[in-house]
């Protein structure tokens, strides 16, 4: 379904027709993809290339007594078997995580989670490497595993990280935010308080392309080139250089086409380091590409927060205070991918879209015998968990007070004239108009009609109940500012380098890295808008650290807020210079030259017929440059945002719950998003559709599960369920536009909003179908049996 503003939108181009801001330009990159010409890591083949297979532990917690690679080495096509001992020689047995922990590249002493990397086999082809891996004999002394954060923090729990000097338990850190005293005071004075415990289960981003690389050490140039699935090539180059000791100008990271990232490709994984080490030692290119189960079982997971939320309110539903306490499972290493000063990510935005007087949050993080990670998966650093908490709690409160969940939101929204707004936990919201988005969603959802229908079904004792769920979320995306946000000390700015050629077309190089978001199109649109060029005349390059300006990469929906700003500023620098060239060409004074956005031309004030296009100016820059200027037409900008941006939206989900089977059907799914000024509405809609699908996966089926022995029972696509077209309903998307006041083109990010915003709307809908019988919560994933249990407990089953 398409937009709602007066029916279908005009076709393709709706701006000035050159493919600038707001035009539905079809994706430039898709020609390559749909004709089978995409170039992914596994497509890369180099002469003399070897293949790496990793030997993984079947146990979750075990000491390694012995590793014998001799039977593997005896195979004809096996070239090497590597263990921690081999890596130790090169100082590569361990690597730093993004949160300053130290992770084994290959296990030296003790395995800490199932499928952890124990040894590597290098062979002439992938099959031989796999055969070799099966022949590596590892002797384990199996230990009791610790599964679950609560168990990990019990007094008698085995200590997982004994190798750390200061670690005699499984506690990682405590974290706190807000004002405990002030919050207690509003709770004491409140008319009502509500409390609910809810788990945000362990998820996995599960991009279709798993992680992998081709490492190629060139002993002639002393240069390491790594083609890898990276969301952050420059940051990875710096880390690679620091870990390996190879000078940074002799390290080249190339992200070719990336088949989905969703956060999974932000961290560095042992496989990359092993492949690079093997290439260095063997002086041949080495490819390592994960299988699906390796990806799910060992690379960065998401969520795993056990949260207890509390709200304090007046009897007419005015929320006064919010409290939250979290138990966080970080797995065997603290390897969360997030700005280093934020151990709980941006979780402290849990006051959401509401003007709440006092807030307090506390969190304890624990090591467990599970894969390390945290954060990744379309999450903007734990905003997902924060939004889930507050949007679920508002529903709990609405039920307690018997108030309409739309009405209670309206009573508590930060008013649109209160921006910029500082929240109780210290966030500076740039702009918002929450009520407008909610009103629009209510209208699109035909809310009143479904409320009546819901009541009718209850009165008729119908077999299928109706539930209506709302989420009016606020996101925070676009990290920096650099002083607040960094990766391993590198400030989170971003960059753009724009070069206009003599014939009037241009190359834009950016420091961010697309994984499917369509940057080759949308970044070109920014330049088209700013310079009056046709979008087809701009090529966007990214992903090669030898040519691109230094940038921090794509995650946390930061590309538009940060690199998008850099692109606009670089274009404006070019425009400034273009003005002087225009004056020269038109034989007028520079102060008489005006830029006309509509026509995309410069003209002489008062004489619009004396005009000049960017193509003519480009020629002038190289063939007739004014004496006052350098020849050429290019500019670079490194952009450190003054603030983050705060996109928001209101989602309304209407479900039918089958009282006999516990099955949930989506009757209607409305998503109204506001990401400020929109670059490409079609790409935004694609982002929303994909993100909502992931939100449905989250709420209904996805879960990385473990048994008591630490076996990953939800570690492949037979058991880790992803939604397919069958489970995804039609979406009704709509939008409002509240520009970001500090962003050069008024845009906010949008890529994560649907995954952040939709799970609570879905759970609220399922709970809402049963709340008349006292149900206050259903845990995710809401599989039919979980829903049936809830129905049964409320005596609603047939």
Cβ-closest position to ligand CUM = 263
Report CA Rg, the chain: 28
Q: Tally helices (H) and strands (E) across the chain.
A: 19, 32
Q: For the beta carbon of residue 622, count every other beta carbon within 10 angstroms.
A: 15
Candidates 59, 330, 519, 659: give the one binding ligand MCN (CB under 6 A).
519
750 sits near ligand CUM (criterion: CB under 6 A): no
Choice from 15, 69, 148, 261 touching ligand MCN (CB under 6 A):
261
Question: What DSSP element (H or E) covers 617?
Answer: helix 614-623
Measured from the CB atom, the residue of 380 and 412 that comes closer to ligand CUM is 380
479 binds ligand CUM (CB under 6 A): no
- Structure-token pair, residue 326: 């979290």
- The one of ligand MCN, ligand CUM, none whose footprint includes residue 317, by CB under 5 to 8 A per kind, is none
Annotated active-site residue in 23, 548, 616, 752:
752
Distance CA 365, CA 79 (A): 42
260 binds ligand MCN, rule: CB under 6 A: yes
The reply to whether 231 belongs to the active site is yes
Phi, then psi, of 694 in degrees rounded to 5: -70, -30
Q: Which does residue 537 touch among ligand MCN, ligand CUM, none (CB within 5 to 8 A, set by kind)? A: none
Q: What is residue 207's three-state secondary structure?
A: coil
Q: Which of 668, 678, 703, 742 binds ligand MCN (CB under 6 A)?
A: 678
Tokens of 508: 């834009």
Comparing CB distances to ligand MCN, the nearer of 328 and 684 is 684
Using the minimum distance from each CB to ligand CUM, give the nearer residue, 375 or 568: 375
Q: Binding residue for ligand MCN (CB under 6 A) from 353, 687, 736, 738?
A: 687
Q: CB under 8 Å to 239, separation ≥6 — which residues?
A: 96, 268, 488
Q: Which of 455, 487, 582, 489 is nearest to 531 (CA)?
A: 582
Specify the residue, 395 or 748, whose C-beta has the smaller distance to ligand MCN: 748
Cα→Cα distances 182→240, 421, 694, Å: 46, 19, 37
Residues near 777 by beta carbon (within 8 Å), at least 6 away in sequence: 196, 197, 198, 392, 396, 763, 767
Q: Which of 56, 202, 303, 378 binds ligand CUM (CB under 6 A)?
A: 378
Report what 518 binds from ligand CUM, ligand MCN, none; CB cut-off 5-8 Å by kind: ligand MCN
- Find the binder of ligand CUM among 349, 375, 675, 696 (CB under 6 A): 375
Hey, which residues between 533 and 562 contact ligand CUM (CB under 6 A)? 555-556
For the purposes of burial, counting CB atoms within 10 Å of the CB of 47, is it exposed (0-12), middle (13-18) or buried (19 or more)?
Answer: exposed
Q: Interface with ligand MCN includes 711 (CB under 6 A)?
A: no
Q: Which stretch binds ligand MCN (CB under 6 A): 154-162, 420-428, 535-543, 552-560?
A: 552-560
Annotated catalytic residue 598: no
The residue among 266 and 311 lying less far from ligand CUM, judged by its C-beta, is 266
731 binds ligand CUM (CB under 6 A): no
Catalytic residue among 379, 382, 409, 485: 379
15 binds ligand MCN (CB under 6 A): no
Catalytic residue among 378, 382, 558, 659: 378
Partner whose binding site includes residue 375, from ligand CUM, ligand MCN, none (CB under 5 to 8 Å by kind): ligand CUM
Interatomic CA distance for residues 205 and 46, integer angstroms: 29
Q: Which of 557, 698, 711, 758 binds ligand MCN (CB under 6 A)?
A: 557
**Closer residue to ligand CUM, CB minimum distance, 262 or 350:** 262
Residue from 463, 152, 90 nearest 277 by CA: 90
The residue length of the chain stands at: 798
Nearer to ligand CUM, 113 or 555 (CB): 555
Q: Is 263 in the site for ligand MCN (CB under 6 A)?
A: yes
> Would you give the DSSP letter of residue 514?
-
Binding flags for ligand MCN, 726-755, as an x/- string (CB under 6 A): ---------------------xxxxxx---
Sign of CA pseudo-dihedral 590, 593, 597, 600: negative
d(CA 685, CA 691): 10
Element of type H or E holding 466: strand 464-474
Is 378 or 668 the residue whose CB approaches ligand CUM more closely? 378
402 dihedral zone (left: phi>0; alpha: psi -120 to 50; beta): left
* Cα(757)–Cα(435) distance, integer angstroms: 16
Q: Does 321 bind ligand MCN (CB under 6 A)?
A: no
Question: What are the beta bridge partners of residue 467?
Answer: 655
CB 95 within 8 A of CB 111: no
Number of Cβ atoms within 10 Å of the Cβ of 1: 13
744, 322, 253: which is closest to 542 by C-alpha? Answer: 253
Q: Measured from the CB atom, is 261 or 734 closer to ligand MCN?
A: 261
Binding of ligand CUM by 374 (CB under 6 A): no
Residue that the structure tokens 């920014």 belong to: 526
Return d(Cα 484, Cα 397) in angstroms, integer: 34
DSSP 354: B
**Stretch binding ligand MCN (CB under 6 A), from 132-140, 167-175, 255-263, 387-395:** 255-263
Return the residue matching tokens 């379309």.
Answer: 378
Task: Write out 394-405 in H/E/C secondary structure.
Answer: HHHHHHHHCCCH
Our finding on whether 112 is near ligand CUM (CB under 6 A) is no
Interface with ligand MCN, residue 52, by CB under 6 A:
no
Task: Give the distance from CA 417 to its chain's centroid.
Answer: 30
Residues 262-321 that bind ligand CUM (CB under 6 A): 262-263, 266
- Residue 447 in the binding site for ligand CUM (CB under 6 A): no
Binding residue for ligand MCN, selected from 350, 427, 555, 602, defined by CB under 6 A: 555
Q: Is 213 exposed, middle or buried (0-12, 13-18, 19+ CB in 10 A)?
A: buried
Q: Please state the closest distance from residue 206 (CB atom) to ligand CUM, in A.
A: 12
Contact yes or no for 684/692 (Cβ under 8 A): no
Residue of 684, 693, 704, 770 that binds ligand MCN (CB under 6 A) = 684
Given 285, 372, 556, 662, the residue binding ligand MCN (CB under 6 A): 556
By three-state DSSP, how is residue 593 classified?
strand
Stretch that binds ligand CUM, among 146-154, 186-194, 257-265, 435-443 (CB under 6 A): 257-265
Q: Catalytic residue numbers? A: 231, 378-379, 752
Binding site for ligand CUM (CB under 6 A): 231, 261-263, 266, 375-380, 555-556
Residues that bind ligand MCN (CB under 6 A): 207, 260-263, 378, 515-519, 522, 554-560, 675-680, 683-684, 687, 690, 747-752
């Amino acid at each position: 379904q398409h937009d709602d503003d007066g029916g279908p939108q005009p076709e393709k181009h709706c701006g000035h027709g050159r493919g600038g801001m707001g035009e539905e330009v079809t994706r430039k990159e898709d020609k390559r993809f749909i004709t089978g010409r995409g170039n992914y890591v596994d497509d890369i083949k180099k002469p003399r290339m070897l293949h790496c297979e990793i030997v993984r532990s079947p146990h979750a917690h075990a000491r390694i007594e012995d590793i014998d690679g001799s039977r593997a080495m005896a195979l004809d096509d096996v070239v090497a078997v590597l263990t921690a001992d081999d890596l130790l020689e090169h100082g590569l047995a361990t690597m730093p995580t993004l949160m300053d922990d130290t992770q084994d590249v290959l296990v030296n002493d003790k395995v800490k989670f199932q499928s952890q990397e124990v040894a590597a086999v290098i062979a002439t082809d992938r099959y031989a490497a796999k055969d070799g891996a099966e022949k590596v004999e590892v002797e384990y002394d199996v230990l009791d595993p610790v599964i679950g954060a609560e168990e990990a923090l019990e007094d008698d729990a085995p200590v997982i990280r004994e190798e750390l000097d200061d670690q005699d338990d499984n506690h990682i850190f405590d974290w706190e935010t807000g004002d405990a005293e002030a919050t207690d005071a509003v709770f004491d004075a409140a008319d009502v308080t509500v409390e609910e415990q809810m788990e945000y289960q362990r998820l996995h981003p599960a991009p279709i392309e798993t992680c992998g690389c081709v490492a190629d050490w060139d002993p002639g140039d002393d240069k390491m080139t790594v083609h890898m699935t990276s969301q952050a090539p420059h940051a990875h180059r710096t880390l690679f250089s620091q870990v390996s000791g190879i000078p940074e100008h002799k390290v080249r990271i190339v992200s070719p086409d990336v088949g989905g990232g969703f956060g999974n490709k932000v961290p560095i994984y042992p496989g990359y380091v092993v492949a690079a080490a093997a290439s260095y030692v063997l002086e041949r290119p080495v490819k390592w590409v994960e299988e699906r189960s390796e990806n799910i079982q060992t690379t960065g997971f998401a969520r795993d927060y056990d949260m207890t939320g509390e709200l304090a309110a007046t009897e007419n539903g005015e929320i006064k205070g919010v409290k939250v306490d979290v138990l966080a499972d970080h797995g065997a290493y603290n390897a969360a991918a997030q700005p280093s000063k934020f151990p709980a990510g941006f979780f402290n935005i849990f006051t959401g879209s509401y003007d709440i007087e006092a807030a307090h949050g506390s969190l304890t993080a624990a090591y467990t015998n599970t894969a390390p990670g945290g954060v990744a998966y379309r999450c903007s650093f734990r905003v997902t968990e924060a939004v889930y908490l507050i949007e679920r709690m508002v529903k709990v409160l609405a039920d307690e007070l018997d108030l309409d969940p739309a009405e209670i939101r309206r009573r508590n929204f930060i008013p649109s004239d209160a921006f910029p707004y500082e929240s109780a936990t210290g966030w500076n919201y740039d702009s918002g108009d929450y009520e407008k988005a909610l009103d629009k969603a209510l209208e699109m959802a035909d809310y009143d009609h479904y409320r009546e229908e819901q009541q009718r079904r209850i009165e008729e004792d119908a077999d299928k109940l109706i539930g209506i769920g709302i989420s009016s979320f606020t996101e925070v995306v676009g990290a920096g500012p650099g002083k607040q946000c960094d990766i391993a000390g590198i400030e989170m700015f971003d960059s753009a380098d724009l070069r206009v050629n003599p014939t009037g077309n241009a190359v834009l190089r950016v420091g961010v890295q697309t994984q499917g978001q369509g940057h080759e199109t949308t970044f070109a649109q920014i330049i088209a808008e700013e310079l009056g060029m046709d979008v087809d005349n701009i090529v966007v390059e990214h992903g090669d650290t030898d040519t691109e300006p230094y940038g921090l990469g794509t995650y946390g929906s930061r590309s538009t807020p940060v690199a998008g700003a850099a692109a606009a500023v670089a274009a404006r620098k070019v425009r400034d210079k273009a003005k002087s060239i225009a004056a020269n060409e038109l034989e007028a004074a520079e102060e008489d030259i005006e830029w006309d956005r509509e026509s995309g031309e410069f003209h002489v004030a008062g004489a619009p017929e004396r005009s000049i296009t960017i193509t003519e100016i480009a020629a002038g820059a190289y063939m007739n440059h004014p004496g006052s200027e350098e020849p050429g037409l290019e500019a670079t900008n490194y952009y450190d945002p003054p603030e983050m941006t705060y996109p928001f939206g209101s989602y309304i989900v209407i479900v039918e719950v089958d009282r006999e089977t516990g099955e949930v059907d989506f009757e209607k799914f409305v998503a109204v998003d506001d990401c400020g000024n929109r670059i490409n509405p079609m790409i935004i809609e694609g982002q929303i559709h994909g993100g909502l699908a992931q939100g449905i996966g989250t709420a209904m089926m996805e879960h990385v599960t473990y048994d008591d022995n630490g076996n990953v029972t939800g570690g492949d696509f037979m058991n880790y369920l992803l939604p397919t077209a069958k489970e995804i309903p039609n979406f009704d998307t709509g939008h409002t536009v509240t520009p970001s006041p500090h962003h050069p083109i008024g845009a906010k990010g949008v890529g994560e909003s649907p995954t952040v915003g939709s799970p609570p709307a879905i759970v609220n809908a399922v709970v809402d179908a049963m709340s008349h019988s006292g149900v206050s919560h259903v845990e995710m994933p809401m599989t039919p049996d979980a829903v049936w249990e809830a129905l049964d407990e409320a005596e609603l089953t047939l």
